[in-house]
């Protein structure tokens, strides 16, 4: 069963690594990079000004994801 997105939570100050049970997927949500740990760990590498920059960004983010999976 899918739990609905909770718009009342203070996502700007919430750390989903510390509170993973609060993570919800919303339809069309674009604010994931404003929530910890994503805003400090992924957002610095999120670039897409042109294809070359986007490709470099994507490679770095995929590397971060693979490192995360290894730690789990």
Q: Domain tally for the chain? A: 1
Q: Which two tokens stand for residue 59?
A: 């490679």
Q: Report yes or no on whether pTM surpasses 0.75.
A: no
Q: For residue 37, is it within any domain? A: yes
> In this structure, is residue 5 part of a structural domain?
no
Indicate whether 3 belongs to any domain. no
Could you tell me what percent of the chain has a pLDDT over 90?
Answer: 39
State mean pLDDT over 27-54.
84
Rounded distance between C-alpha atoms, residue 54 and residue 61, angstroms: 10
Domain-embedded: residue 10: no
**Count H helices, E strands: the chain?**
2, 0
Residues of the chain above pLDDT 70, percent: 86
In a domain, 55, yes or no: yes
In a domain? residue 47: yes
Q: Domain range for residue 38?
A: 20-71
Q: What is the pLDDT of residues 42-58, one digit of tens each?
A: 999 999 999 999 999 99
21-49 average pLDDT score:
80
Residue, of 53 and 1, whose pLDDT is higher: 53
Give the C-alpha separation, 55 to 58, whole Å.
Answer: 5
In a domain, 43, yes or no: yes
């Amino acid at each position: 069963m899918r739990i609905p997105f909770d718009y009342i939570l203070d996502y700007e100050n919430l750390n989903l690594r510390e509170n993973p049970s609060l993570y919800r997927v919303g339809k069309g949500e674009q604010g994931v990079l404003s929530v910890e740990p994503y805003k400090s760990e992924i957002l610095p590498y999120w670039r897409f000004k042109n294809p070359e920059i986007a490709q470099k960004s994507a490679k770095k983010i995929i590397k971060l994801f693979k490192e995360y999976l290894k730690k789990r």
